[in-house]
């Protein structure tokens, strides 16, 4: 199966977990019925506000309410779900975690955000995930019936070594649920998505929450799907919406053959471990 569809549900996230889960369910169903999506991606922290003060309140141990909803939905609709991220509790620690389900509702991967968003931008934004979260320590690449997919979360996008590691492990698609904000979003979001797609010759799927001007942390929106040539093939505005695009694995092969970047790396000259 070299062609299939991926959708992003750019959903409104509220402070009610119940409403967020209901909304996720509604949008995933719509993505499958209306857009014929085979893989559906949700945004970062889709079941709770992106606010370090409340993350522990919303956190769940695996296998909690959110993972049960997503697993059941994936099975019922016969689709893969890359469950954005949620605050995950494990052994008294909190993580920003993406849970990934196959079309039978089985969990096939779990990515814990590796790079925590600790920034202090003058006259801009101060955010310190490490006040409450611990970092994950693994590169996540899941095997699906379509191809291998790398999954990372938001700030992880800024670390090209992580993206390249996924591709060296065979990823042909990279999925990043992410909640950029009104300072870093306009400055860097589109550019990062585009360049990560170009330098890794992958389809790049970046899934944001919809913009909520009343939230403490205002997400930028503008979810997008970029092809391995660096073209935006589907994109959202700020509001709640679903975007979807066809993925063509043969096109990845074509781009990688015509412009053989991955083959022509000179590892003897540079190494990502040095
Ligand atoms: N929220 C994040 O993790 C990252 C972000 O907003 C940025 O890198 O900018």
Residue-wise pLDDT for 65-102, tens only, equals 999 999 999 999 999 999 999 999 999 999 999 999 99
pLDDT of residue 271: 78
- CATH number, domain 3-258, options 3.90.870.30, 1.10.3210.10, 3.60.110.10, 1.10.287.3510: 3.60.110.10
Nearest Cα residue to atom 8 of ligand 1: 155
Residues assigned a catalytic role: 44, 113, 154
pLDDT in tens, 158-217: 999 999 999 999 999 999 999 999 999 999 999 999 999 999 999 999 999 999 999 999
With 60 as the cut, is the pLDDT of residue 239 above it? yes
pLDDT in tens, 122-163: 999 999 999 999 999 999 999 999 999 999 999 999 999 999
Q: Ligand 1: which of 87, 178, 182 to mutate, judged by most atoms within 8 Å of the beta carbon?
A: 178
CB of 252 closer than 6 angstroms to any ligand 1 atom = no
Q: For residue 113, give the ligand 1 atom closest to its CA.
A: 3
Helix then strand then coil, in percent of the chain rounded to 5, is: 30, 30, 40
167-171, Cβ contacts within 8 angstroms, sequence gap of 24 or more: 167/200, 167/201, 167/202, 167/262, 169/139, 169/141, 170/141, 171/141, 171/147, 171/200, 171/202
pLDDT of residue 74: 98
Measure 10 CA to ligand 1 centroid, in angstroms: 16
Task: Give the alpha-carbon dihedral of 260, 262, 263, 267, to 10 degrees.
Answer: 140
Residue with tokens 């991955």: 262
- Kindly report the number of other CB atoms within 10 A of residue 123's CB atom: 5
DSSP H stretches of helix in 145-234: 160-168, 184-200
Query: Sheet of 203-207: strands edge to edge?
Result: 140-143, 148-151, 173-177, 203-207, 224-226, 232-235
Read off the pTM.
0.98
Which pLDDT band, with edges at 50, 70 and 90, does 13 fall under? very high
The packing angle between helices 65-77 and 17-35, to 10°, is 10
Measure 117 CA to ligand 1 centroid, in angstroms: 6
Which pLDDT band, with edges at 50, 70 and 90, does 272 fall under? low
Which pLDDT band, with edges at 50, 70 and 90, does 1 fall under? confident
- With a CB cutoff of 8 Å and minimum separation 6, the contacts of 96 are 44, 45, 85, 86, 87, 88, 112, 113, 116, 129, 133, 153, 154
ipTM of the complex, rounded to two decimals: 0.99
With 60 as the cut, is the pLDDT of residue 266 above it? yes
Residue with tokens 């697993």: 71
- Kindly report the number of other CB atoms within 10 A of residue 105's CB atom: 18
* Domain boundaries defined on the chain: 3-258
Nearest Cα residue to atom 3 of ligand 1: 155
Considering the chain, what is the average pLDDT of its residues? Answer: 97
With 70 as the cut, is the pLDDT of residue 115 above it? yes
Nearest Cα residue to atom 5 of ligand 1: 180
Residue with tokens 């079941």: 47
Nearest Cα residue to atom 2 of ligand 1: 155
Nearest to 84 by CA among 112, 142, 140, 45: 45
Q: What share of the chain in percent tops pLDDT 70?
A: 99
Measure 118 CA to ligand 1 centroid, in angstroms: 9
- Residue-level length of the chain: 274
CB of 151 closer than 6 angstroms to any ligand 1 atom = no
CB of 133 closer than 6 angstroms to any ligand 1 atom = no
Q: For residue 185, give the ligand 1 atom closest to its CA.
A: 9
Pairwise CA distance, residues 155 & 178, whole Å: 7
């Amino acid at each position: 199966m070299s062609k299939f569809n991926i959708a992003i549900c750019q959903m409104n996230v509220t402070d009610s977990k119940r409403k967020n889960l209901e909304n996720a369910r509604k949008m995933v169903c719509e993505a499958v019925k209306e857009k014929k999506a085979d893989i559906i991606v949700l945004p970062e922290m889709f079941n709770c506000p992106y606010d370090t003060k409340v993350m522990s309140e919303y956190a769940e141990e695996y296998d909690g309410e959110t993972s049960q909803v997503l697993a059941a939905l994936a099975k019922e609709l016969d689709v893969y779900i890359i469950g954005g991220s949620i605050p995950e509790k494990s052994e008294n620690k909190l993580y920003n975690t993406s849970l990934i389900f196959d079309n039978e509702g089985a969990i096939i991967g779990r990515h814990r955000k590796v790079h925590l968003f600790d920034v202090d931008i003058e006259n801009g934004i101060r955010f310190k995930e490490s006040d409450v979260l611990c970092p994950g320590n693994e590169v996540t690449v899941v095997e699906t019936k379509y191809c291998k997919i790398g999954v990372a979360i938001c700030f992880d996008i800024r670390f090209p070594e992580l993206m390249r590691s996924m591709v060296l492990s065979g990823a042909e698609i990279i999925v990043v649920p992410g909640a950029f904000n009104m300072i870093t979003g306009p400055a860097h979001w589109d550019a990062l998505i585009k360049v990560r797609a170009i330098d890794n010759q992958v389809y790049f799927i970046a899934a944001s929450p919809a913009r909520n001007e009343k939230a403490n942390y205002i997400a930028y929106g503008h979810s997008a799907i970029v092809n391995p040539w660096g073209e935006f093939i589907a994109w959202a505005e700020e509001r709640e919406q679903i975007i979807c695009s066809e993925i063509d694995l043969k096109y990845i092969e074509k781009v990688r053959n015509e412009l053989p970047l991955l083959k022509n790396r000179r590892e003897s000259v540079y190494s990502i471990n040095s």
